[in-house]
Amino acid sequence: MRAATTNTRVLHARHGLVMALLLLILSACSSLPADRSTEPSDTQEAHCRRWFFMLDQQIKQHGVGDAQDQRIAGFPQLRVSRLAASFRDQAAQDRAAFSDWLDLLQAQGAEAHAIEITNLPEAVVDVLPGNEPASDNREKAMARTQHCAQVLSDLDRAAPDRRAALLDRAVVPDAYSTAARVWGMYALTRLPFAAGVRRWQADTVAAFNVAGPSQGAPITRYVPVEPAKGYSAEAFASVPRNALGIPQLDEALRQQLLDRHAPVLALPVEGGFDRIGELKLAGDGTPDVDTTQPTVYRRIAFVRQGQKTLVQLVYLAWFPERPPAGSVDLLAGTLDGLVWRVTLDDHGRPLLYDSIHACGCYHLFFPTRSLRAKPAPEPGIEWLFTPAKPPELATGERMLLHLAPRTHYLTGLAATREPQGERYRSLPEGLLRSLPLPGGGHRSLYGPDGIIAGTQRGERYLFWPMGVRDAGAQRQWGHHATAFVGRRHFDDPDLIDQRFDVVEPSGVGVESH
């Protein structure tokens, strides 16, 4: 009898627990925003949400997600960059600005999905809903994705609750791990790291102070194929801008700007590791640099300065490796990318030059006379390192970058006119997000985490307390943390505003382009 009573009490207790959990779940659900999945299943919106859900499942399952821009929860057709996220306040205050902002997020989403569909295996594309084996299935999938993106964006644009949710969620996470910094006792371990940074800075200043290029092997110059053709300052200043203030460059002007400011690279070539080339993938997907075809990849980017949005020209050169300097070299490894960036003012003149390696390391700033550095907000952080002043370029001159052999460190800047050397061709940097495989198909150079597999460095075992994941590994645009002590990203939209005051020194006119 006691056993029966006990069992009854247990059953009642379990029943009470289940009911309490159900009530808790129902209560939680009632507090959430309305779920669009409750719409009738035969609506266009429901069909499109199912399409994106199934497509994104396949993208994730096959590891072809593109990490350049961030996905936004609840808005599968959109992606957000740090620049786009910086316009949220403006988009919230003005209907036209919101519309152009949504168009930007949709364009970034469309670009990413097109790349991901291209990189999916053919057998997967053939079994996507509505497909059967056919040669045009990728085109059909891309067309359906584009159609559904427009359907969902039109709904998001029209619904106040959706607009509010989008404005709240369109953010890009910090590239630093706060948890790693806590576990690594960052407050203490940052001190020896800061000392190491100061030593590197002193060595870099010394290298820039050496007259002429590095000594040793004969100097090889890599020179752009494209001539340094001028462009009209008036045409640049009159470029239309959208409601966010972002310049709407046409393709012809884009290429003129990139051609005009393409740098010359000069370094002593001590081995194949000092030659630049075209990125290709081996049959197993591992990257390889074909140095028989000197190549520099390039892209257009933007940064905000005050109420203006400025144009940036970004150039990326790949070396096959950074070879080891000895039996133990924590910095050595496969692939080594050098990034050179030119930020133009609103008249089309160079305002700021800066450079990193493709790991995000070695961030150097070269401000022109129109910028004055701001002091660091706290001592000891990597704030603004300028090893030398850049030369002022006259009409027809290019920037020449002196590089060290093996490490590919930037060691000097000079102006050059009609340089002679090996000609390199220019390719869009976006091609690296979908490279052909020898046996057919495509794959991104970058993993879904934005890191190039196989380029890890030994330094990651020592540098993790600084909160930078896989320190030293080569990575994709949008994933470059450029400071170990402090926080800084290469694509920070306020990079100039945070670190410089803009001045207009007397005697500086508009450069003749």
Q: Are 479 and 451 in contact (CB under 8 A)?
A: yes
Indicate the pairing of strand 422-428 with strand 219-224: parallel
Q: 366: closest CA among 400, 394, 395, 336?
A: 400
Residues 239 and 113 in one domain: no
Query: If DSSP states are collapsed to H, E and C, what string results for 180-212?
Result: HHHHCCHHHHHHHHHHHHHHHHHHHHHHHHCCC
Query: How confident is the model over 469-484, as pLDDT tens digits?
Result: 999 999 999 999 999 9
Residues 191 and 151 in one domain: no
Give the gyration radius of the chain's Cα atoms: 26
Residues 206 and 100 in one domain: no
Residues 205 and 163 in one domain: no
SS3 326: coil
Distance CA 345, CA 349 (A): 5
Query: How confident is the model over 103-126, as pLDDT tens digits?
Result: 999 999 999 999 999 999 998 998
User: Is 220 a domain residue?
Assistant: yes
User: Is 509 a domain residue?
Assistant: no
Structural domain including 126 reads 36-169
Residues 341 and 219 in one domain: yes
Residues 377 and 439 in one domain: yes
Residues 148 and 235 in one domain: no
Distance CA 511, CA 513 (A): 6
Distance CA 318, CA 202 (A): 26
Residues 410 and 271 in one domain: yes
User: Is 196 a domain residue?
Assistant: yes
Q: Which two tokens mark 269?
A: 């070539």
Q: Are 267 and 405 in contact (CB under 8 A)?
A: yes
pLDDT at position 133: 64
pTM: 0.90
Residues 203 and 164 in one domain: no
The last residue of a domain, from among 151, 169, 187? 169
Q: Which two tokens mark 67?
A: 């990490």
Bridge partners for 318 per DSSP: 277, 337
Residues 190 and 151 in one domain: no
Task: Provide the domain count of the chain.
Answer: 2
User: Is 2 a domain residue?
Assistant: no
The last residue of a domain, from among 169, 194, 209? 169
User: Is 14 a domain residue?
Assistant: no
User: Is 23 a domain residue?
Assistant: no
Helix spans in 159-282 (H): 160-169, 178-183, 186-209, 233-237, 251-260
Helix H or strand E encompassing 512: none
The last residue of a domain, from among 117, 151, 169? 169
Residues 158 and 200 in one domain: no
Mean pLDDT, contiguous 10-residue spans, the chain (513 residues) = 39 38 34 42 89 96 97 98 98 97 98 98 84 77 96 97 98 96 96 95 94 69 86 87 96 94 96 97 93 97 96 98 94 97 95 98 97 94 97 93 97 93 97 96 97 96 96 97 97 97 61 46
User: Is 83 a domain residue?
Assistant: yes
Residues 252 and 338 in one domain: yes
User: Is 512 a domain residue?
Assistant: no
